Amino acid sequence: MKARTLRKDKVNVITLGCSKNLVDSEDLITQLQANDYEVEHDSN
């Protein structure tokens, strides 16, 4: 029997604009991580 490697889905969140966008991105990241996504975050 072959062993399966479990992989997480990956997402890159890019935040542009004002501080409200940053808050929205952080909320989204929290939800994604709670659903077992691997998240990278870039903010400008």
Q: Where are the domains of the chain?
A: 10-43
Residue 34 CA to chain centroid, in angstroms? 10
Please report where in the chains the tokens 């909320």 appear, as a residue: 27
Query: What is the full per-residue pLDDT of the chain (44 aa) written as tens digits?
Result: 676 677 789 999 999 999 999 999 999 999 999 999 999 999 87
pTM of the model: 0.77
CA gap 29, 24 in Å, rounded: 9
Alpha helices in 1-44 (DSSP H): 19-34
CA gap 25, 9 in Å, rounded: 18
**For the chain, how big is the Rg over CA atoms in Å?**
14
